[in-house]
Structure 1
Amino acid sequence: MVAQLNTLQDLVRRLEQEGDRDAVRMLTRESLVTWNYAELAQAARELGAGLAANGVEKGDPVGLLAPNTAEWIVACLGIIEAGAIVTPYDTQMPSAELAHAISDSGVRYVFTAGEPAQRLAQLDLQNPPKAIRLDAEPQGSNSWHAWRRANKPAPAQVHADDLATLFYTSGTTGAPKGVLLTHGNIAANLTALISQQIAFRDDRVFVPLPYHHVYPFSIGLFTPLTLGATIVLPYSVLGPQIVRALKEGDASIILGVPRLYEALNSAIQTRVAERGARAQKIFAAMQSTSRYARERFGWRIGKYLFRGLQKRMAPSVRMVVSGGAPLDPELGESLRSLGWEVATGYGLTETSPILAYNPPGQAKLDSAGLPLPGVELRIGELEGQDEQAEDARPGLGEVQARGPNVFIGYHNLPEKTDKAFTKDGFYRTGDLGWFDDEGYLHLEGRASEMIVLGGGENIDPERVEKVLCSAQAIRDAGVLEQNGRLVAVLFADPEALRGMDSGTARQQVNEALQERKEQLPSHHQISDYRISPDPLPRTRLGKMRRHKLRELYERIESGEVKQEQQPVAIESMAVEDQQLLQITPARRVWDVLAKRFSAVRLTPDTDLRLDLGIDSLGWVDLTLELREQGGVIIGEEVISRVQTVRDLLREAADAAEAGSDEDDGALPLVEQLANPDDALTDEHKRWLSSRTLSERLVGRVILGVDRLFFRWYCPLEVEGVDQIPLFDPVLLAPNHRSIMDSPALGSTLPYARLERIYWGGFTGILFKNAGVRYFSRSTQVLPVDPRAGARTSLALGAAALQRGYGLVWFPEGRRAPSNEVLQFQPGVGLLLQAHPVPVVPVWIEGTEQAMPIGRRWPRPGKLRIRFGAPVMPHTLEEEGEGDTREQRIANALRERVLELGEGSSSGD
């Protein structure tokens, strides 16, 4: 089959010969969906006939704007069967660039799905293409199924020199350029690769990379199909889903980029570090032993030493393939020491894509590899450069290529096409390289990115950036020339600098740069830098977008870029975060957070507790809000794992959507709260049991100290406390400004009321050891545990009300960072729906000055507490605005609290 492959259409028409062998294994949220070759061939044949019947002619471009799915593959094969040009677009391309690519390509039809379909509909296009949905129900009029035609004659035959694909480059140096590849270009690359016997018919190739890049398109789609192998597609690119796909898909080869393997290696090292220093030493010794045995004797003992690790993560994987960007040699050696073979490839979109490869067993991981059979490589002189720099390696020059896999030109850009080739027909790759004595190609950066300073020094920016990024305080770095000097834009690591003010953070960055000076020659030292609040502009494959980097530097320099007090734009996030937000539940959570914290610089690195102030009660209301407004259920067992917004988004990506079978049974939450004991364990119920005599005595002593403190040190002015019912169940709803709010409020209540009232308290402070647990038990504080989730915490409050007690509940869910009153969260509305007791609004004033967030001991000063008249929940529901009953109750209650604060000295 391989020897006679001239076009991709030939391949499509031979797929059915593989019969019932698995062609695609695709993971969904709950299951593994399999397409065999016969099914794939039939669907592609019928779709191709349908496209032709609807006026798609040979050579017409047809677009693809969707995440990887089996349906994406069918659409691609159907376009090829029709003789049309496959035109895939990056689903994360900025809107302006996406609009340019769609307009430039001239497509009339685009296969799309999910969030990219919404983006397509929102683009400002003069002639918008018709959308064909890959995710619509089969009977839908806009579904791809409606385009299938059975028993129709095959469309026109294509030839090797006919166009097969139109890929738009990521635009590292400007607007995306359309790269035209013929059937012969791609077929030649496939034939050469398969002849090297790197992969085989029985392999299962795991593809986490998007097919709109030529690397996964050729190596991860058409190479397996040409072999008759199996393609494995994950449900998402989150860590747990990748492991799940490797196991359930039984993958034997991973096709990735360096970033994927960096994350994989980091996850392994982190897991080992969690087991202690001794485990780390043993693991490092095993890796060293494995590496020595391979290098000294050629023994591959890593697969035996790390059999347990491989069984847990990737039981059938034998080889990892890296492309798209250079793989760090040390990372490659680390992966080999774990028992996996490592293969790398080098090439460009314009070369279909492979020019050189590092085959398993012969790999020199510090090189780009050997030229692929049929590819002619040479080192040519740099255009416009008369002589090499003094420190340049002998033989260094531009890598130039010629062969049947080299593209025919750029779409609608004849001048750029002419400049891309030498007079004798070699393609100018723009990469700097040299050959060693064994014929391996070594790369030294991009010629177009080489920086020449005023003194004539040549600087490889990637070399400098790699050194800078090795500093703990720096997550990413971009280097450029500015006024004859070498400068950098840095994205500081939020985790490393968390909690520091701007001056301290800059000092940390300065120290990190100073430490790295010894690793660089003097003329590679940066003379100045700017810190970007957002990730640096990179492509999906991790390449720096140099023209965007200069724009960013100039905007920071002019003051246009600063720490804006609003959520960061999705398009400016790191590629991995953009991809995460393409998963619907994660996007819903982000939208809820962006709306709730619209006046905060919200990013994926934002710490939920430290930056947003989400404490225990805040978790209760946040999970409710995510459920009510975002339709996403965050399970109670996952909250303890969540620290940053990114953590929450990842959990949401795997979480159940509201209304699913995982939704705590069929009952709505308000009905569950009506019978709260069903949601509580015996341990929880113990906190609601009667106190012992000693606990009551200790409680009285604590109350006495509390009242003395607020009489002499922070005197209180109290109004309306006589309006509180002494013995009936009641809910007190104060605003929340300080950790002093609860003790201040407690000092004002009559003893008869205090005997019959419970308080919500954060387990991380009031329940962390036996002493404070005894304190909490003595003062009737209930454990509100952020790890337990909304249902359990609300159930404890509901159980207190059901038992006839009062309850103090802070409806804002967290302490306000200023004098404002935050929106009241729906949790209080749910409690009052389930148990319609009187609610007393409470205004607390002055505690924010006495003990602001971060202060350990209060300042002396006067405080004020005002109690409003009790009001029933049905009255609040009639007064309030909102889409749900609980929202209307919460909003009206907030208005009543604000009314109490009108005319006070601190205001709202």
Structure 2
Amino acid sequence: MSSLFPALTEALADPDGTAAHRSALRFGDRSLTYGELAATAAPLAARVGEAGRIAVWATPTLETAVAVVAALLAGVPAVPLNPKSGGSELGHIVADSAPTLVLAPPGDQLPPALAALERVDIEVGIDTDTDVRSTRPTAPPAPYAPAHALDRDLDLDPETPALVVYTSGTTGPPKGAVIPRRAVAATLDALADAWQWTGDDVLVHGLPLFHVHGLILGILGPLRRGGSVRHLGRFETAGVTRELSTGATMLFGVPTMYHRIAESLPDDPALAKALARARLLVSGSAALPVHDHQRIAEATGRRVIERYGMTETLMNTSVRADGEPRAGTVGVPLPGVGLRLTEEDGTTAVEAYDGETVGEIQVRGPNLFTEYLNRPDATAAAFTEDGWFRTGDMAVRDPDGYVRIVGRKATDLIKSGGYKIGAGEIENALLEHPGVREAAVTGEPDADLGERIVAWIVPADPEAPPSTDELADHVAGRLAPHKRPRVVHYLDTLPRNDMGKIMKRALTHD
């Protein structure tokens, strides 16, 4: 397999060459060129080369990026750990993945679940005179030469595991998706085609680094292109303004971030001007409400594009940079990705491209994971007999092939009055009502309809929330009468996870 990071390979081979002096990573006021990243990560790669699996304490820091790059150079699977995980979840992940080392920034206090692991501190220091960075692990490093890391990276089989990324665990204990090097390369190259992503692009984001969006797309993506990334550490609209005003060309975010941007735009002309400069604004991990799409487009002249992926498949579809940035859709399948919709039996294909007929998304292609670690039963159940991965996501296809996701099969497919209804489109309709700040939609048993539609609303004005009848008429007028909510609950806030996704299982019908 060719190198995952050609610019890094070039910097390893020629420390004085042009590639070595290109900016690679910047976190706040700390940065590394490709040459400095090579000089930092290669010795660490030698140190962990025989480690089996390694855990990475995935704080939003330069150290996390260095640790993952070192693991990939060494051909050792990295297991990113969410620093906000509770003790039980973290204990499960560590026991299941059985790493032999944990890599962490020096000084970080690690929880008891990691106490039995050998710790290697990743110390990325700066000598202000020579501007050289170095990694000094607590244990003596193995003999190192740059050629060793270069040869190892180039010789690795495409099926070699690169990462073990744990799912969110919404239907049981988190499962470790084994992601091979082949999937990382295929996804990032397909996105380069769809987004016209090159080494001239400078990405800014403030996402966590323990999942696919923040780590693979946000850190490894720029490095594979030979470009650079500026991580905000913590998302703030002021940071977005600063970076997009000083050379950054792309912004990656999740809907909660873009919602904050949309809310800030009327009173922040500098933010609007900075966003207008961006070549590409990308949202993912959950659907971006149409209302936020519209507010950002009106204020900046730039449209946010959406893509669709998941831990097991990396990226499946995207609106293309040269395509129509249509709000409410996740675009078309990426190059090399097969996508089909199926009926409830999981095998009968939905042939309609009518924007109405709902089916489960199934995908196959080089972007897929290899297996769930230690779970052959779950791995087998995730695939059809003819090799398609069952995503559990429900969607419709427009006549031109654009995919619109309407929810999860387990929580968002509502069968009411003989219709199959996706919760997502109702949520978008509710969010277009001026009296609604946040919205979630679920179903509950109904003796007559089978299921009735239930809306969970955070009103814009808690003292004067829109009535159930008002919201029902609003939805019926935009979608269809059978899609109107029959019950409305009013909340102060919706339960969300670290990525901003609404946790519908936490919504109970008291």
Task: Provide the TM-score with structure 1 as the length reference.
Answer: 0.48
Distance 2:369 2:31 in 1: 34
Correspondence for 1:518 among 462, 473, 493: 473
Question: How has the CA–CA distance of structure 1 residues 11 and 38 changed in structure 2, closer, same or farther, with 3 Å as cutoff?
Answer: closer
Q: Check conservation: 2:120, 2:138, Cα contact below 8 A.
A: no
Q: Check conservation: 1:171, 1:545, Cα contact below 8 A.
A: no
SS in 2 for 1:350: coil
- Structure 1 residue 426 corresponds to structure 2 residue 416: no
Residue 681 of structure 1: aligned partner = none
Computing the radius of gyration over CA atoms, which structure comes out larger, 1 or 2? 1
Question: How has the CA–CA distance of structure 1 residues 457 and 135 changed in structure 2, closer, same or farther, with 3 Å as cutoff?
Answer: farther
SS in 2 for 1:161: coil
Distance 1:258 1:430 in 2: 21
Q: Check conservation: 2:7, 2:226, Cα contact below 8 A.
A: no
SS in 2 for 1:240: helix
Correspondence for 1:545 among 476, 487, 503: 503
* Per-residue deviation, 1:543: 2.4
Superposed counterparts of 1:83-94, under 5 Å: 83-94=75-86
Structure 2: which 5+ runs fail to align? 127-134
Correspondence for 2:164 among 166, 175, 196: 166
- Structure 1 residue 184 corresponds to structure 2 residue 182: yes
* Per-residue deviation, 1:80: 1.4
Q: Which amino acid aligns with 1:380?
A: T
For 1:609-629, what per-residue CA distance to the aligned partner results, in whole angstroms no more than 9, with x for missing partners? xxxxxxxxxxxxxxxxxxxxx
Distance 2:345 2:24 in 1: 46
Distance 2:428 2:341 in 1: 25
Residue 804 of structure 1: aligned partner = none
Structure 1: which 5+ runs fail to align? 273-307, 498-504, 558-908
Q: Which has the higher strand share?
A: 2
* Per-residue deviation, 1:78: 1.1
Question: How has the CA–CA distance of structure 1 residues 251 and 113 changed in structure 2, closer, same or farther, with 3 Å as cutoff?
Answer: same
Distance 1:36 1:48 in 2: 18
Superposed counterparts of 1:268-347, under 5 Å: 268-271=265-268, 311=273, 313=274, 317-329=278-290, 331-337=292-298, 338-340=300-302, 342-347=304-309
Q: Which amino acid aligns with 2:332?
A: L
SS in 2 for 1:49: helix
* Per-residue deviation, 1:49: 0.6
Q: Check conservation: 1:357, 1:372, Cα contact below 8 A.
A: yes
Question: How has the CA–CA distance of structure 1 residues 236 and 450 changed in structure 2, closer, same or farther, with 3 Å as cutoff?
Answer: closer
* Per-residue deviation, 1:467: 4.1
Distance 1:413 1:532 in 2: 38
* Per-residue deviation, 1:518: 0.8
- Structure 1 residue 22 corresponds to structure 2 residue 23: yes
**Higher RCO structure (Cα 8 Å, ≥6 apart):** 2
Q: Percent identity?
A: 27
Distance 1:399 1:82 in 2: 35
Distance 2:227 2:138 in 1: 26
For 1:575-620, what per-residue CA distance to the aligned partner results, in whole angstroms no more than 9, with x for missing partners? xxxxxxxxxxxxxxxxxxxxxxxxxxxxxxxxxxxxxxxxxxxxxx
Residue 405 of structure 2: aligned partner = 443
Question: How has the CA–CA distance of structure 1 residues 246 and 530 changed in structure 2, closer, same or farther, with 3 Å as cutoff?
Answer: same
For 1:413-465, what per-residue CA distance to the aligned partner results, in whole angstroms no more than 9, with x for missing partners? 22221121111111112222233333322323222224445754434223333
Question: How has the CA–CA distance of structure 1 residues 143 and 39 changed in structure 2, closer, same or farther, with 3 Å as cutoff?
Answer: closer
Distance 1:416 1:205 in 2: 36
Distance 1:34 1:43 in 2: 12
Superposed counterparts of 1:195-594, under 5 Å: 195-196=193-194, 198-247=196-245, 250-271=247-268, 311=273, 313=274, 317-329=278-290, 331-337=292-298, 338-340=300-302, 342-351=304-313, 353-365=314-326, 366-383=328-345, 395-452=357-414, 455-469=417-431, 475-484=437-446, 486=452, 488=454, 490=456, 492=458, 496-497=461-462, 508-509=464-465, 511-521=466-476, 522-528=481-487, 535-549=493-507, 553=508, 557=510
CA RMSD of aligned residues (A): 3.5
SS in 1 for 2:31: strand
Correspondence for 1:46 among 30, 43, 46: 43
Distance 2:494 2:54 in 1: 32
Superposed counterparts of 1:98-117, under 5 Å: 98-113=90-105, 117=108
For 1:673-711, what per-residue CA distance to the aligned partner results, in whole angstroms no more than 9, with x for missing partners? xxxxxxxxxxxxxxxxxxxxxxxxxxxxxxxxxxxxxxx
Q: Which has the higher helix share?
A: 1
Distance 1:183 1:144 in 2: 26
Distance 1:271 1:435 in 2: 37
Distance 1:176 1:487 in 2: 29
Question: How has the CA–CA distance of structure 1 residues 363 and 65 changed in structure 2, closer, same or farther, with 3 Å as cutoff?
Answer: farther
Q: Check conservation: 1:6, 1:187, Cα contact below 8 A.
A: no
- Structure 1 residue 129 corresponds to structure 2 residue 129: no
* Per-residue deviation, 1:184: 0.9
Distance 1:528 1:356 in 2: 34
Question: How has the CA–CA distance of structure 1 residues 122 and 548 changed in structure 2, closer, same or farther, with 3 Å as cutoff?
Answer: farther
Residue 129 of structure 2: aligned partner = none
SS in 2 for 1:193: helix
SS in 2 for 1:418: helix
Q: Check conservation: 1:9, 1:80, Cα contact below 8 A.
A: no
* Per-residue deviation, 1:257: 1.8
234-243 vs 423-432, which deviates more? 234-243
